[in-house]
């Protein structure tokens, strides 16, 4: 046991002290915040090349109602259709929207251009045309469109969670977002840190250092120490990322909200300012987001996340370690990695297409119980409510699966770590498992 602890300490300290670890730990949160800030700014600003669409409206229905938007600008054209087509041939930036006179009786609207228009342009034009046609049809039927549009009930369902202590607010969307984020983090970490274990073993194997180490340490102890040590490195980095990202988001949000409050208060009369001390925080999507985040049961989700993060990492790291001990370089790992990664990839795809829509189905249940798929599937199911016995069974099987795969990996490791220059097949790996001693 002492030897295993020494290996854990060595693997952990040697990686945590690296400059690359420190740089990535502090750089990744800033990159994430900067990326989302850039996405928001670019989304608000929109594109800088707004297409001009020339409209030939032979029906006379749409020409006075097509107003410019952020995605497209409309221009009325007096050209004939043939003249417009010639213009398109000579100008690659020209867009001609042709509306025939028989549009109400089944005629088709066509747009001519040399290059394909963006999806936002097409969707904007479709929406505009349908809205104008709807208004005309309502008018022809003797229905006032403005009156009809004013009748818009704004009903919404407020989620309440019933507990022994009573009622409390809940947000399924926020909980589901947290569950998805946790599943994605686990999916990424299993590859990043699992591959680190595999490459570490390949390096030790090629440098022959392991020949000295294996003489004083049992393969199972060495394998277990490396897996746990690198796993603790990954957990440390993820916790620091979460803490730093949360701190940066809180700081940036407070600055933005403060600036918004000052602008609103400066525009309000003095009497109104006295009545409403903090208008920006009392309403708006920002406050709704904060309330949704506050409804998440962090004291429940975080321990479950850490458990499945460590369990899934250890299980797959043992398999990656077995691959590393069976090959001599990275190029030979591909034939063995595909069977290992298929359950992860399958569960990741099913999480977004099936599990989220059918969290209580038999397939979702078994995916969250089987150790090879449970780290991702269980985190997706968690926001929808998972019985305690299912959660406990999944954790027990995950731990048992880790111990079993570590034992399997150590059996391969004890033979493969001393093999050089030989390409190994699945049949050969089976023989290594049966070797006695």
pLDDT at 271: 46
Q: Work out whether the CA dihedral 270, 274, 277, 283 comes out positive or negative.
A: negative
76 plus 219 within the same structural domain: no
212 plus 339 within the same structural domain: yes
141 plus 178 within the same structural domain: no
Residue 165 in domain? no
Contact 231, 193 (CB under 8 A): yes
134 plus 177 within the same structural domain: no
Residue 163 in domain? no
CA distances, 44 to each of 40, 123, 214, 260, 361 (Å):
6, 18, 59, 17, 40
315 plus 206 within the same structural domain: yes
237 plus 367 within the same structural domain: yes
**Is the pLDDT score of 269 beyond 60?**
no
Residue 355 in domain? yes
Domain count, the chain: 2
Residue 282 in domain? no
Residue 267 in domain? no
Q: For residues 161 and 385, what is the distance between their CA atoms, to the nearest angstrom?
A: 11
CATH of the domain at 76: 3.40.190.10
User: Dihedrals φ, ψ of 60, to 5°?
Assistant: 75, 10
72 plus 127 within the same structural domain: yes
**Is the pLDDT score of 52 beyond 70?**
yes
310 plus 225 within the same structural domain: yes
pTM for this structure? 0.64
Residue 65 in domain? yes
Q: What is the 3-state secondary structure (H, E, C) of 364-381?
A: HHHHCCCCCCHHHHHHHH
pLDDT tens for each residue of 89-148 = 887 778 888 888 888 777 788 888 877 777 778 888 888 888 888 888 888 888 877 777
β-sheet bridge partners, residue 75? 54
134 plus 187 within the same structural domain: no
315: Cβ contacts below 8 Å, ≥ 6 apart: 371, 372, 375, 398, 401, 402, 405
Residue 384 in domain? yes
Q: Quote the domain boundaries for residue 364.
A: 173-252+296-434
213 plus 116 within the same structural domain: no
Residue 37 in domain? no
pLDDT tens for each residue of 149-178 = 777 777 666 666 555 555 555 556 666 777
140 plus 177 within the same structural domain: no
pLDDT at 273: 47
Contact 210, 204 (CB under 8 A): yes
Mean per-residue pLDDT, 72-86: 82
139 plus 177 within the same structural domain: no
Pairwise pLDDT comparison (297 vs 138), residue with the higher score: 138
Token pair listed for 232:
């603790």
Residue bearing tokens 């920006």: 280
């Amino acid at each position: 046991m002492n030897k295993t602890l020494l290996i854990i300490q060595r693997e952990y300290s040697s990686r945590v002290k690296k400059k690359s670890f420190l740089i990535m730990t502090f750089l990744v949160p800033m990159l994430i915040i900067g990326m989302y800030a850039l996405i928001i700014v670019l989304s608000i600003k929109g594109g800088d090349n707004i297409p001009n669409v020339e409209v030939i409206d032979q029906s006379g229905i749409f020409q006075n109602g097509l107003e410019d938007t952020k995605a497209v600008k409309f221009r009325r054209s007096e050209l004939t259709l043939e003249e417009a087509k010639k213009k398109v041939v000579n100008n690659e930036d020209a867009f001609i929207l042709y509306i025939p006179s028989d549009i109400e009786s089944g005629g088709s609207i066509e747009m001519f251009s040399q290059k394909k228009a963006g999806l936002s342009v097409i969707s904007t034009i479709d929406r505009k045309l349908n809205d104008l046609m709807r208004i005309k049809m309502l008018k022809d039927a003797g229905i006032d469109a403005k009156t009809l549009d004013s009748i818009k009930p704004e009903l919404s369902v407020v989620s309440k969670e019933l507990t022994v202590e009573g009622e409390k607010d809940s947000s399924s969307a926020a909980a589901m977002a947290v569950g998805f984020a946790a599943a994605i983090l686990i999916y990424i970490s299993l590859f990043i840190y699992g591959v680190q274990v595999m490459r570490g073993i390949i390096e030790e194997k090629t440098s022959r250092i392991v020949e000295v180490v294996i003489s004083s340490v049992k393969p199972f102890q060495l394998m277990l120490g490396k897996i746990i040590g690198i796993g603790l490195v990954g957990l440390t980095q993820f916790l620091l990322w979460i803490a730093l990202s949360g701190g940066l988001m809180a700081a940036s949000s407070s600055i933005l909200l403060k600036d918004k409050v000052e602008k609103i208060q400066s525009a309000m009369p003095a009497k109104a300012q006295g009545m409403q001390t903090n208008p920006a925080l009392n309403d708006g999507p920002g406050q709704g987001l904060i309330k949704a985040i506050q409804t998440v049961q962090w004291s429940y989700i975080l321990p479950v996340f850490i458990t499945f993060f460590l369990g899934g990492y250890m299980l797959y790291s043992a398999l990656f370690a077995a691959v590393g001990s069976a090959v001599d370089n990275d190029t030979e790992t591909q034939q063995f990695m595909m069977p290992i990664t298929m359950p992860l990839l399958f569960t990741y795809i099913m999480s977004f297409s099936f599990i989220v829509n059918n969290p209580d189905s038999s397939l979702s249940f078994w995916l969250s119980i089987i150790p090879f798929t449970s780290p991702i599937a269980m985190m997706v199911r968690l926001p929808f409510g998972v019985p305690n016995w299912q959660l406990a069974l999944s954790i027990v099987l995950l731990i048992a699966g880790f111990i079993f795969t570590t034992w399997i990996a150590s059996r391969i490791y004890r033979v493969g770590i001393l093999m050089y220059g030989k390409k190994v097949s699945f049949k050969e790996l089976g023989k290594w498992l049966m070797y006695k001693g």
